[in-house]
Structure 1
Amino acid sequence: MRVERVENPLSLKDKLVRFVFRVYQSTGGAYPALEWVENKPSPDDFEGFKKVYEPFLEFRLSEEFDELYVLRDEGGKIAGTVALVYNLKEKDAWWVPEEIKEEKTGLIEFFMVHPDYRGRGYGSKLLDFAIERLKNLGKEPYIITFPNLEAYSYYLRRGFIKVMDYREFVVLKHRGR
């Protein structure tokens, strides 16, 4: 397994829509939350999911993410993803509280592991990579997530602490070492 930077994120859009749909299926439609969608597609409706998620993903890939990484298995299949967002002053990131929109803030986003690869340490590998990459850039790692997701307790176990509630989200910051 190797973490690799995606130089042209839009080139992976179709594969990433399918990847994220598998995550959506495996969480029974809990993640991604699709919080902007009034009638969420069922976890077995790929076309419905694609219709609402693909434009959002295209925006994130082209406008929001500063760096995108994938973890691939030996056959080249995407096993996990993580994105970094750190040029916050240049973005209309409504979901980021003003209190942390500063030069030193680095967000870990789009952090997912394909359900076929869960429980093998790949999430830890990706998260550790993202934290180190942000620190090497001089950034403080943050995660903005939903408090009811399974990932929330995972982040707390991995060294993140809650710093605030913001809208329907919770903002976590890595304690560092």
Structure 2
Amino acid sequence: MKGEILRAGRPVELKDELLMFAFGVYRDTGGAYPALEWVEEKPSPDDFEGFKRVYEPFLEFRLKDEFDELYILRENGKITGTVALIYTFQGKDIPWVPEDIKNGRTGLIEFLMVDPEHQGRGYGSELLNFAVRRLGKLGRDAYIVTFPELEAYHYYIRRGFVEVERYGDFVLLRFAPNGLRA
């Protein structure tokens, strides 16, 4: 194991640290992720204040009202990776998730990120495998909403996810071990 994956008891208390972490990923991906697809003029990957202005309210919403569970991977006290799970949809406004999968069997893997300095070392696989196992224990089918142009799309396909649906800018993937079609 690369580090210990721990559940965040009060995710909103980590907002400032998570904001800096997400900005590091945004900067490293040249502004590709987080996608900020709802923002007309995305901030430069070097503009923390611009990123904070648009992403902080969204992050706070996700931490308070959207994520059912948030897990943090730390190494030497520093966040090296994150993954969140969403498996209750009642009363939540999550417009980027197709209505037909918002049921008692669906579990979404969200907020899967690895610190740029730690990418390529297995941290993402560790977090993804953890999330799939956790959702399985909860009796949920693992889904991911992503963008087809991201490198992450191909990463998920190589790890057993299959494309279920394309809609708008998004692609819905479902974990299907052994390449079984969803």
Q: TM-score range by the shorter chain?
A: over 0.9
Alignment partner of 2:20 out of 18, 24, 38: 18
Question: How far apart, in 2, do the equivalents of 1:90 and 1:66 lie?
Answer: 13
- Answer with 30-39 or 133-142: which moved more: 30-39
- Map Cα deviations across residues 70-125 of structure 1 (whole Å, 9 max, x no partner): 1001x110000000000012311111111111110000000000001001100000
What SS does the corresponding residue of 2:173 show, helix, strand or coil?
strand
Question: How far apart, in 2, do the equivalents of 1:144 and 1:173 lie?
Answer: 9
Where structure 2 has 5 or more consecutive residues not aligned to the other structure, the ranges are none
- TM value normalised by structure 2: 0.95
Q: CA deviation at 1:49?
A: 0.4
Whether 1:103 and 2:100 are equivalent positions in the alignment is no
What SS does the corresponding residue of 1:92 show, helix, strand or coil?
coil
Give the corresponding residue for 2:70: 68
Whether 1:141 and 2:142 are equivalent positions in the alignment is yes
Matched residues, number: 176
Alignment partner of 2:58 out of 56, 59, 63: 56
What SS does the corresponding residue of 1:43 show, helix, strand or coil?
coil
Question: How far apart, in 2, do the equivalents of 1:110 and 1:167 lie?
Answer: 20
What SS does the corresponding residue of 2:177 show, helix, strand or coil?
coil
Give the corresponding residue for 2:94: 93
Alignment partner of 1:41 out of 37, 40, 43: 43
Give the corresponding residue for 1:165: 166
Question: How far apart, in 2, do the equivalents of 1:163 and 1:99 lie?
Answer: 12
What SS does the corresponding residue of 1:36 show, helix, strand or coil?
coil
Give structure 1 regions of 4+ aligned residues with deviation exceeding 6 angstroms: none
Question: How far apart, in 1, do the equivalents of 2:151 and 2:34 lie?
Answer: 12
Where structure 1 has 5 or more consecutive residues not aligned to the other structure, the ranges are none
Give the corresponding residue for 1:120: 121
Question: How far apart, in 2, do the equivalents of 1:167 and 1:38 lie?
Answer: 16
What SS does the corresponding residue of 2:21 show, helix, strand or coil?
helix
What SS does the corresponding residue of 2:139 show, helix, strand or coil?
coil
Q: CA deviation at 1:3?
A: 0.2
- Which residue identity lines up with residue 55 of structure 2 in the other structure? Y
Give the corresponding residue for 1:82: 83
Q: CA deviation at 1:34?
A: 0.4
Question: How far apart, in 1, do the equivalents of 2:64 and 2:29 lie?
Answer: 26
- TM value normalised by structure 1: 0.98
What SS does the corresponding residue of 2:54 show, helix, strand or coil?
helix
Question: How far apart, in 1, do the equivalents of 2:167 and 2:177 lie?
Answer: 22
- Which residue identity lines up with residue 123 of structure 2 in the other structure? Y
